[in-house]
Structure 1
Amino acid sequence: MSTETTADAEIPQATVTELASDLGEAITQLPTYQEFLEAKERVEESEEAQQKVQRFEQLREEFMLARQTGNATNEDLRELQAAQEELHDVPVMSEFLELQSELELELQELNEMISAPLAVDFGEKAGGCCQD
């Protein structure tokens, strides 16, 4: 009879992969995730939101280019910020952003639970971004 505990036993990679897949599937079933998807769809279907997204993206692109060439002004920045505020004032967009924030908080909590037994922040390192 073995006295080895589950914590001491090596878990096959296939089991870990399956557990990760199960976790991903479980996350898609979270009410917050489902509400987020529905809000995203409403934003995509809203003509008003899409027009304001396009305007904001255009201004942001122009501002980034002007900043790179040293030609960005405070007025350019104010115009970009005003466009962002107008976008965020669209009811379907503000609802989407609120649900996105709630989902990010839930995912951060899950990341902390996953990272707790590890010597590394799982979510941060899994993102693939180099940290100094």
Structure 2
Amino acid sequence: MSIDTDVTVPDSDIETLGRELGEAIRNLPEYEAFESAKAAVESDDELQEQIQEFESLRQEFMLARQTGDAGQDDLQELQQAQSELHSQPTMSEYLEAQQRLDARLEAVNEAISAPLDVDFGEQAGGCCQD
């Protein structure tokens, strides 16, 4: 497939193309699978409790690390909790769906970035670039 790099598009059409791209992404099987997996995670009360416990443990670890009180045992406890959380079937499915969506969006980013000679996704992030 060849891309015509000499196409001139009026400014108002750029936003329209952006909306159309967003709609097309929303209709991707990867996006639909991600949304479905996300809804399953959000509706699983036991999993939500486990997520909250993990987040609490992670916050405790981060604070302990900042004060120099975090040890190897603390890190291993955090890693074990994360491993247990990620091994839950609903969470595992969500993480896999997220990875597939991320890969697809990266391909879209590369397609947009190629004619721009910049990383569109990185530039669209809005933060200062060095």
Asked if these proteins are the same fold (TM beyond 0.5), I'd say yes
2:102 corresponds to which residue? 104
**TM-score normalised by structure 1 residue count:** 0.90
**TM-score normalised by structure 2 residue count:** 0.91
Name the stretch that deviates more: 20-29 or 7-16. Answer: 7-16
CA contact (8 A) 1:52 1:86 kept: no
1:17 to 2:18 alignment: no
Write out aligned runs for 1:73-84 (5 A). 73-84=71-82
Give the Cα separation in 2 of the matches to 1:86 and 1:9. 51
Unaligned 5+ residue runs, structure 2?
Answer: none
Q: Which residue type is aligned with residue 113 of structure 1?
A: A
Q: Which runs of 4+ in 1 moved over 6 A?
A: none
The correspondence for 1:119, drawn from 117, 120, 125, is: 117
CA contact (8 A) 2:41 2:47 kept: yes
* Offset of residue 62 of structure 1: 0.5
Give the Cα separation in 2 of the matches to 1:18 and 1:128. 21
Identity within the alignment, %: 56
Write out aligned runs for 1:44-83 (5 A). 44-83=42-81
* Offset of residue 32 of structure 1: 1.0
Q: Which residue type is aligned with residue 35 of structure 1?
A: A
CA contact (8 A) 1:63 1:76 kept: yes
Give the Cα separation in 2 of the matches to 1:96 and 1:32. 11
Change in CA separation of 1:107 and 1:9 when aligned onto 2, cut-off 3 Å: closer
Deviation readout 1:18-40 (Å, 9 max, x if unpaired): 10111001100111101110100
Deviation readout 1:19-77 (Å, 9 max, x if unpaired): 01110011001111011101001001112211110111001101111111111111111
CA contact (8 A) 1:32 1:99 kept: yes
* Offset of residue 11 of structure 1: 2.1
Give the Cα separation in 1 of the matches to 2:71 and 2:117. 45
Unaligned 5+ residue runs, structure 1?
Answer: 1-5
Rg larger for: 1
